[in-house]
């Protein structure tokens, strides 16, 4: 009797086989007294399937697979004795018309290093985890919204490389664990978000065109090495989020497209199953086995590899049937609308399942439209994501920051508008890799003015982002003011830190991150309006913004003041809520931040009973050009 049982077939056919990765793919096994590997693959419309590999000299007929009962489920299985881990293999699929296809295993746990396209037998069950404290604390987390979240987005192959090597000089997962944990810990980020971990063939896709949904890329080591990476970061108190791409997949010959000679993973009609702009295939979210494939992948990363959350890429492209398509290139749903009802149901299922089974984890939507209730509860019509990337804030923020300061007064609303809809979703404010590629310029080179002005502008912008409600994400290189756009082909320009301006910016971001984590008022009440209060949102003429951040108790609150012009306001007065002392805890003028060094000797400012900004009380503070000042009270 085969390993794939009738119960497995039933659950898989329902889309609810949540351990499917333990049944399909290649697994060490024993048959009678013989040790070997059991192979199982879903290919419902294949005439015959063979497993070929190093173990049989790639002999195309040596190991034919058997269609398991019930035959309608379309799973083929075989046992190959006397082989073990590390063996390369593929499935040879004979289609209904006799064509031969050579396919990698969709459920493989390891892949051959590109440009090779074979799968590799792996044993992922024997890693000794030592992050039990992290996992216990994660499971005990009742409300992730009340926790700090400052994410460092990382592309592992281009964060740092070994110099002078003939190969690409990639850090292995184990080397990266130590170097990255040290950096993230020192800077004060709470999480890393990793790009390009699920196996993918083409470096230039950055991992967004996946062929191996169950395999960490072999570019940086083995599955066990990846487990070590996760385990090590957890022990250092750092959470890990993975980019996960259920929106589409590439057409590579060894991949999922037309897997058994027919479109079993993608919608059959190209108007549903193809992205014209991207040249990729769209998963069929109405098919139980396809949904199960994707759900099983998500659960593998979160439950087996202890990943703390998934950032789901290109959500909008899944929700809209006409996304990136012209008239005649898409089919409306049964109500004549452009909503993909099957994708909506898929999101509700997977998000409810993952968050329900794994308290303390997060599901994050990269969703670029005004789709309602992305983070709303499924029972009330929402998609049940934990967070949504705030792309609207990002576009407004960058539009404003790029402007010559003279024109900012006419665009003042761009920095205040996000607060008008802040309560509609749970947001993450993002400055991601997408903003520093394709001739969009690096963050520092988006800023107006000469070099010193650019850095002063960027410090003010980052401080505004940190003070604004919402969790945070910065892409690597942005915290050091890298001048060049990011490229996956080289490491970050770490040498820029020899420049005092770049080093000062890095120190400033570090200080912001430590303040963010130190004061609960910065993150406890992000979602609604109760954690934030404008003092003055309307000072367009001077391009000055002032606001308060408040936590659950009144012990420590923060007052933020921003000057987005090069004009000093030596006698600047700001309204304050109470007749108290206001202690200056951050000014961008400090020499360690490459500021002017003109730091007021006075650290505590006593409120006066002088009405200002529609408040009874106020304080006076010498606000420098592009000045940032944060007060605790």
Amino acid 1: pLDDT = 39
The Cα–Cα gap between 186 and 184 comes to 6
The 10 Å Cβ neighbour count of residue 382 is 17
pLDDT, one tens digit per residue, over 317-340 is 999 999 999 999 999 999 999 999
Which residues does 136 contact at the CB level (< 8 Å), separation at least 6? none
The residue length of the chain stands at: 633
Range scoring the smallest mean pLDDT among 243-247, 248-252, 497-501, 600-604:
600-604
Return the percentage of the chain with pLDDT > 90, whole number: 94
Helix (H, G, I), strand (E, B) or coil at 570: strand
The 10 Å Cβ neighbour count of residue 99 is 11
pLDDT, one tens digit per residue, over 4-47 is 999 999 999 999 999 999 999 999 999 989 999 999 999 999 99
Under DSSP, the state recorded for 61 is T
The Cα–Cα gap between 574 and 605 comes to 11
Under DSSP, the state recorded for 428 is E
Domain spans of the chain? 6-120, 532-632
Report yes or no: 523 and 603 within 8 Å, Cβ to Cβ.
no
206: its two tokens: 């950055």
The Cα–Cα gap between 205 and 207 comes to 5
Nearest to 351 by CA among 300, 303, 385: 385
Amino acid 2: pLDDT = 59
Q: Please indicate, yes or no, whether the overall pTM of this predicted structure exceeds 0.85.
A: yes
Cα angle at 418 between 417 and 423, to 5 degrees?
125
Nearest to 205 by CA among 219, 192, 223: 219
The Cα–Cα gap between 196 and 209 comes to 9
Helices of type H across 94-189: 132-140, 156-159, 173-187
**Spatial strand order in the sheet of 25-31:** 25-31, 34-42, 75-81, 66-67
pLDDT, one tens digit per residue, over 436-488 is 998 899 999 999 999 999 999 999 999 999 999 999 999 999 999 999 999 99
Q: Is the pLDDT of residue 529 over 60?
A: yes
Q: Is the pLDDT of residue 166 over 90?
A: no
Cα 75 to Cα 123, 195, 255, 288, 571, distances in angstroms: 22, 32, 17, 14, 76
The Cα–Cα gap between 633 and 631 comes to 7
pLDDT band with cut points at 50, 70 and 90 for residue 129: very high
CA 632 to chain centre: 32
Ramachandran assignment for 417, one of left (phi > 0), alpha (psi -120 to 50 degrees), beta (any other):
alpha
CATH class of the domain whose range is 532-632: mainly beta
Helix (H, G, I), strand (E, B) or coil at 221: coil
Q: Which residues are tagged catalytic?
A: 313, 366
Looking at the domain that runs over 6-120, which CATH code has it been given? 2.60.40.10
The Cα–Cα gap between 555 and 533 comes to 16
Return the percentage of the chain with pLDDT > 70, whole number: 100
Which residues does 470 contact at the CB level (< 8 Å), separation at least 6? 390, 393, 422, 427, 428, 429, 526
**Helix then strand then coil, % of the chain, to nearest 5:** 30, 25, 45
CA atoms within 13 Å, Cβ hemisphere of 40: 20
Report yes or no: 600 and 622 within 8 Å, Cβ to Cβ.
yes
Mean residue pLDDT across the chain: 96
- 278 or 168: whose pLDDT is higher? 278
Range scoring the smallest mean pLDDT among 160-169, 271-280, 585-594:
160-169
Nearest to 118 by CA among 277, 255, 21, 238: 255
Ramachandran assignment for 32, one of left (phi > 0), alpha (psi -120 to 50 degrees), beta (any other):
left
pLDDT, one tens digit per residue, over 202-235 is 999 999 999 999 999 999 999 999 999 999 999 9
């Amino acid at each position: 009797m085969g390993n794939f049982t009738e119960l497995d077939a039933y659950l898989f056919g329902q889309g609810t086989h949540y351990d499917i990765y333990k049944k399909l793919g290649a697994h060490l096994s024993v048959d009678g007294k013989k040790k070997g590997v059991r192979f199982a693959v879903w290919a419902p419309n294949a005439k015959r399937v063979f497993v070929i590999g190093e173990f049989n000299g790639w002999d195309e007929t040596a190991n034919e697979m058997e269609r398991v009962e019930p035959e309608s489920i379309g799973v083929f299985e075989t046992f190959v004795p006397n082989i073990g881990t590390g063996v390369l293999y593929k499935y040879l699929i004979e289609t209904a018309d006799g064509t031969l296809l050579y396919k990698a295993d969709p459920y493989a746990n390891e892949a051959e290093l590109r440009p090779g396209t074979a799968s590799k037998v792996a044993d992922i069950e024997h890693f000794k985890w030592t992050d039990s404290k992290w996992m216990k604390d994660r499971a005990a987390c009742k409300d992730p919204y009340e926790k700090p979240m400052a994410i460092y987005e990382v592309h592992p192959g281009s964060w740092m490389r070994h110099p002078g090597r003939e190969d690409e000089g990639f850090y292995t997962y184990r080397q990266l664990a130590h170097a990255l944990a040290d950096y993230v810990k020192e800077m004060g980020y709470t999480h890393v978000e990793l790009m390009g971990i699920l196996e993918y063939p083409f470096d230039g896709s950055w991992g967004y065109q996946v062929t191996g949904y169950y395999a960490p890329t072999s570019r940086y080591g083995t599955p066990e090495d990846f487990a070590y990476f996760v385990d090590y970061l957890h022990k250092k108190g750092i959470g890990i989020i993975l980019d996960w791409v259920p929106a589409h997949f590439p057409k590579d010959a060894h991949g999922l497209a037309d897997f058994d000679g027919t479109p079993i993973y993608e919608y059959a009609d190209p108007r549903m199953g193809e992205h014209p702009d991207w040249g990729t295939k769209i998963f069929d979210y109405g098919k139980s086995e396809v949904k199960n494939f994707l759900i099983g992948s998500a659960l593998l990363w979160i439950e087996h590899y202890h990943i703390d959350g998934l950032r789901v890429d290109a959500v909008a492209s899944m929700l809209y049937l006409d996304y990136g398509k012209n008239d005649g290139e898409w089919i409306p749903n049964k109500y004549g609308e452009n909503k993909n009802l099957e994708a909506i149901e898929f999101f509700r299922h997977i998000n409810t399942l993952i968050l329900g089974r794994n308290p303390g984890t997060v599901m994050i939507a990269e969703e670029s439209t005004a789709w309602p209730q992305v983070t709303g509860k499924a029972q009330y019509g929402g998609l049940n994501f934990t967070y949504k990337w705030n792309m609207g804030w990002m576009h407004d923020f960058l539009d404003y920051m790029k402007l010559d300061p003279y024109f900012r007064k006419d665009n003042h609303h761009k920095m205040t508008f996000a607060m008008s809809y802040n309560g509609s979703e749970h947001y993450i404010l993002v400055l991601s890799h997408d903003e520093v590629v394709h001739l969009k310029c690096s963050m520092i080179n988006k800023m107006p003015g000469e070099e010193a002005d650019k850095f002063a502008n960027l410090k003010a912008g980052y401080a505004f982002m940190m003070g604004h409600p919402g969790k945070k994400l910065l892409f690597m290189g942005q915290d050091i003011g890298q001048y060049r756009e990011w490229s996956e082909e080289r490491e970050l320009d770490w040498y820029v830190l020899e420049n005092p301006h770049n080093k000062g910016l890095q120190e400033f971001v570090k200080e912001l991150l430590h303040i963010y984590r130190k004061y609960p008022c910065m993150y406890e009440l992000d979602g609604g309006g109760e954690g934030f209060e404008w003092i003055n949102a309307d000072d367009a003429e001077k391009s000055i913004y002032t606001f308060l951040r408040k936590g659950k108790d009144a012990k420590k609150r923060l007052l933020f003041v921003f000057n987005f012009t090069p004009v000093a306001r030596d006698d600047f007065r700001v309204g304050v809520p109470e007749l108290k002392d206001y202690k200056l805890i951050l000014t961008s003028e400090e020499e360690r931040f490459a500021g002017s060094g003109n730091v007021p000797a006075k650290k505590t400012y006593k409120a006066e009973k002088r009405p200002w900004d529609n408040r009874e009380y106020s304080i006076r503070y010498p606000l420098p050009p592009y000045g940032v000042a944060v007060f605790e009270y």
